[in-house]
Structure 1
Amino acid sequence: MTPTIDVEITSETTARAILASAEVDPVDLQATETETLEAVVHRFLHSVAKDQNVDLEVVYRKGENSRHLTVLPNGKVEPRTPSTPIPTTAPTAPPPARAEDSSAPPTGPVVVAAEPLMYETQSEVVPHPQTPAPSRPQDPSQTRSRTPQYQGADEAVTGPLEALADLVAAPASPVASDPARLGLRGRLNAAFGLKLVPKEASLEMRLRDAQTIIAGPLPDRALIGVMQVKGGVGKTPLSIALTDSIATYRGSRRVVCADLGEVGGSFPDRVAVPPAHGSDALGLLAEITPAATDVRPTTLRQFLTQQPSGADVVIGGAAAPLGYDQAQALGMILSQHRDLIVADTGNSSLADSWQWVAGAAHVAVIPVPIRTDAAIGAQRTLKAFAAVRPDLLSRTVIVITDGPGDIPEDEHDIVERFSNLAVPVCRMPYEPLFAGGKRIALSQLRRQTRDALTVLASTAIGLMDRAAG
């Protein structure tokens, strides 16, 4: 049985393809800045015919008119019962405003692009331009007798165009032109070998935009502080996972997660690859002589532990917490060798390392489980910012987390409480690795968690543009 696809032109830039024989939902097709609607339709039909290696019967509907075509696996198109004859000569006068008549059926190749639909009777491919080509004298002896003529917008164009470069669109942004991998379009691409791009407002496009922001420029000594004066709210797993997510799009050895919490915290127990004994910030700082202002990269690597994502981690001190000057010196060293520092802080806003992060951070991230005590702790954290860095309040992100013991019915009130403060609020779904106290490896997190981390990372980095100096 020959597959049949019904293509309906729903507007000047959109169409819907119903794959009756494929038993899938209708496919919405849309023109882009670099590709006309007809080109998108042709690419879709050609891909289906090529993938199935069959002659594909197509009903092409535009308004009250319809054309019956057969799309071959090689991309050629044969008319079956066209509603109007294919023109072979140019009319004596161009019909006025015909190019703007949306109800008129196609009279030439359906696709207006460098990859047009072809009729089996053609001797060669003749692109149909969107704008009329300038008329030029032609030598009758050089004109092939079998070359058909196609009606342009205002005049006929005879023979192959010499200036093909004028019809080739500029390279599209990979973010917008890459085939979809998620949702219905992603499943169709995987099933039929298609190259459908995601919809502009889809989750996949939002994630691609977020990835572009994450990989973009950063201010000098960029620092994100994950901070909450309430303990047990998930600062450590969020710090580690956020660093891993950023490293995925910025590259290996470009981001470091620094443990600046209290001694005896869970940081070494939550990273995928734990640091070796003695590889801590205090040991690193001991390598700096009074006359030195930096350390060699080879020396630095002895005290950093690379994770599977390519990010590095460093713990504070195994015997004593870092003082303010020590935290500042550590931040100076790391920022000279890495693009971004993500600091996991402790629970006391009076601690020296907490005070340094609050004073140096470009962005603060506050995790808030759906519990009243966590929300109160977040409010106390904001008050601490107001006392140290009032400007940091405008670059703070609240992250609503989901874990055991949370009260879902309180979520609306908690979100509204912080939304009224004009603070960005992100939502982190339930993640078993976070809740279970296990080691954090980005590849083992659920897809929803990884997507939420990508959005959170782009939100935080996007806020860095507001930082002064």
Structure 2
Amino acid sequence: MADIADYNHEPTVDPRRLRLRTNRPAEPEGHEPVTEEIPDPYGVGVDALAAAEGQSVRASAPTTHGSLFDEATSPALTRPAQWGWRGRLNAALGTKMAPKQDSTETGYRAAIEAIQRTLPGSGVVTVVNTKGGAGKTPTSITLGATLGKHRGRGVVAVDMSESGGTLGIRAARTTDVERTTWDMLGNASRLVSAEAEAGELASYLRLQPTHDEILAGDTDASYDGILGKDECAALGAVLRRHRDLLIVDTAITPQAEAWQWAVHNADVLVVPLPMRRDMAQHAHAMLEGLVKRGLDHLVRSAIVLLCVTPESDPNLESAIVDEFDALGVQTYVRVPFEPVFASGERITLETLSQTSIIAWTNVAAMVTDALAEAISDRRVWQRPQPIPVATEESETPTFMPEEPEPTPIDPAVEPDPAPEPEPVFFVTVDPAALTDSPAEPAVDDAAPDTEVHQPPVHSRRPQPPQPSSFNPYA
């Protein structure tokens, strides 16, 4: 099991200019652009919708989380200790003793550094479990609050339950005018336009004490609309236009369009799992279904949060890990039980226990690391690929530029006469002169002194298969 004391994160990835690029793969030169009909009933623009599509394409290599951070320069090891007896001595005597390298305080600081790393683009974290009461909404709120506390503005938790969930009810803070997803959809075209100001979106969100924001679902039972694929795509386009990181709270119906959109466009899955047999069976069936649908990369990078609740069976943990390992899950984290999660009251990060705060900081750090890997991997697959052309000498495809098309000849214009060939001169050389005084080979001044190597020929990297349909009746 992962523990905050021995948590390690990967080196920071900082390709600063990539965020300005589109998320869709570029078409190779010489190919006609593929025109796709994307429904846009909310007027957010086809380009904005297209930027959020195709997120399920990933590399097939296993995903890992973490490598040792640079201990020599990390402030986690150089700042004076504040916890334990070292912290008490520093506070009482004014000393500056650093914490122990393998202490809980050092691990907590390393997790914060991981959360604050620069991501190579915007990301989507989807919280899923098809069993009600698994803790998806408390997980979404706590994870968003932890990320917002250490990353600042740019983190939004959004309720994408098809008929409106309890995200707005459980959030720490609300507003006088409680706007919901349908209010944002009614103004989606304005919010993605060039005339929209940066602060306009804030009026539709609820700023939390930890600087993250909440987009609540509409729980009005008199309203007949439900969130479908078009609605979720429009919400995603608006939020990604103004924010960096989305935490998506889902419902329990995998056949619903909103659930499918949230999973297909996820970079990382977070699966809250109280250690109960029925919870584990639902979560296992859900992940197994994702593997069958071609989304095994999401299962491999999923982060399963194991929690021992009062009604849990602690002996069930080993069986859960064994069964989930067979599906490809690699990351499990124990999180403490918090009574406020099950009470139905509003969740505030500062009211949680110190143990829970440390554990959720660890979870947020692992999510950030997984996001950085997934976004970077997505960028690699979206780089334009050269066109493979097979040559006669070898059956191996090589990359050759296309020949330009010949210029059409106008019969009304008389062609220019062909140039006369230059005369060829023959010089007679005495063989004895070559034998007595051999001439030095000519040296090209512009040629390098080192040996010239031909560039290797690379075959085109195969693209991963597209995920299959979610339609169980197809």
Which TM-score bucket, shorter chain as reference? Answer: 0.5 to 0.7
Provide Cα deviations, 1:392-433, integer angstroms capped at 9, x if missing partner. 122200000232321223233223433453420011101121
2:85 aligned with 1:184, yes or no?
Answer: yes
Matches within 5 A, 1:121-160: none
- Could you tell me which amino acid in structure 2 is paired with residue 403 of structure 1? T
| Paired residue type of 2:215 | V
What residue number does 2:149 align with?
248
Q: How far apart are residue 388 of structure 1 and its match?
A: 5.4
Give aligned-pair identity as a percent.
34
Q: What aligned pairs does 1:69-468 form with structure 2 within 5 A after superposition?
A: 172-251=73-152, 253-289=153-189, 293=193, 295-318=196-219, 319=223, 320-386=225-291, 387=293, 389-419=295-325, 421-467=328-374, 468=378
Alignment CA distance shift 1:404-1:321 (3 Å): farther
Q: Report if aligned partners of 2:271, 2:304 keep a CA contact under 8 Å in 1.
A: yes
Q: Could you tell me how far 1:306 is from its partner in structure 2?
A: 0.3
Distance 1:290 1:311 in 2: 23
Given that residues 163 and 227 in structure 2 are in contact (C-alpha distance below 8 angstroms), is that contact kept between their aligned partners in structure 1? no
1:364 is paired with a residue of what secondary structure? Answer: strand
**Are the equivalent residues in 2 in contact too, given 1:404–1:435 (CA < 8 A)?**
no
Contact 2:86 2:99 (C-alpha < 8 Å) held by counterparts: yes
Q: Which runs of 5+ in 1 are unaligned?
A: 1-170
Residue-by-residue CA offset, 1:161-216 (whole Å, 9 max, x unaligned): xxxxxxxxxx9542221111223322332343321111222221111111111111
SS in 2 for 1:237: helix
The aligned counterpart of 1:80 is: none
> Which residue identity lines up with residue 140 of structure 2 in the other structure?
S
3-state SS in 1 of match to 2:312:
coil
Instruction: Indicate conservation of the 8 Å contact 1:236/1:266, yes or no.
Output: yes
Q: Alignment RMSD, CA only?
A: 2.1
Per-residue CA deviations over 1:216-266 (Å, capped at 9, x if unaligned) read 122423111111111110000010010000011101x22110011242522
* TM-score relative to the length of structure 2: 0.59
Distance 1:292 1:214 in 2: 28
d(CA) in 2 for partners of 1:172, 1:221: 27
Query: AA paired with 1:281?
Result: T
Which consecutive residues of structure 2, in runs of 5 or more, have no partner in the other structure? 1-71, 380-474
Query: Is the CA contact (8 Å cut-off) linking 1:219 and 1:464 kept in structure 2?
Result: no
Q: Which amino acid aligns with 1:357?
A: A
Cα distance in 1 between the residues matched to 2:370 and 2:192: 34
CA contact (8 A) 1:257 1:312 kept: yes
Q: Secondary structure at the match of 1:297?
A: coil
The one-character-per-residue Cα deviations of 1:309-348 (angstroms, maximum 9, x if unpaired) are 1110001334333111211121121122112110111101
Contact 2:81-2:90 at 8 Å conserved across structures: yes
Instruction: From the superposition, tell whether residues 429 and 278 of structure 1 become closer, same or farther in structure 2 (CA, over 3 Å).
Output: closer
Partners in 1 of 2:320 and 2:226 — Cα distance? 33
How far 1:276 moved relative to its partner?
4.7
> What TM-score does the superposition give when structure 1 sets the normalisation length?
0.60
2:307/2:337 contact within 8 Å kept = yes
Instruction: Report 1 or 2 for greater relative contact order, CA contacts < 8 Å, sequence distance ≥ 6.
Output: 2
SS at match of 1:459: helix
SS of 2:189's equivalent in the other structure is coil
Whose strand fraction is larger, Structure 1's or Structure 2's? 1
CA distance in 2 between partners of 1:329 and 1:194 (Å): 55
Residue 328 to residue 432, structure 1, CA distance change in 2 (3 Å): same
Counterpart contact for 2:90–2:96, Cα < 8 Å? yes
Counterpart contact for 1:359–1:388, Cα < 8 Å: no
Conservation of the 8 A alpha-carbon contact between 2:129 and 2:286: yes
Amino acid at match of 1:396: A
- The Cα offsets for residues 258-277 of structure 1, whole Å up to 9 and x where unpaired, read as 01124252222211113555
Contact 2:299 2:329 in 1 (8 A): no
1:115 matched residue in structure 2 = none
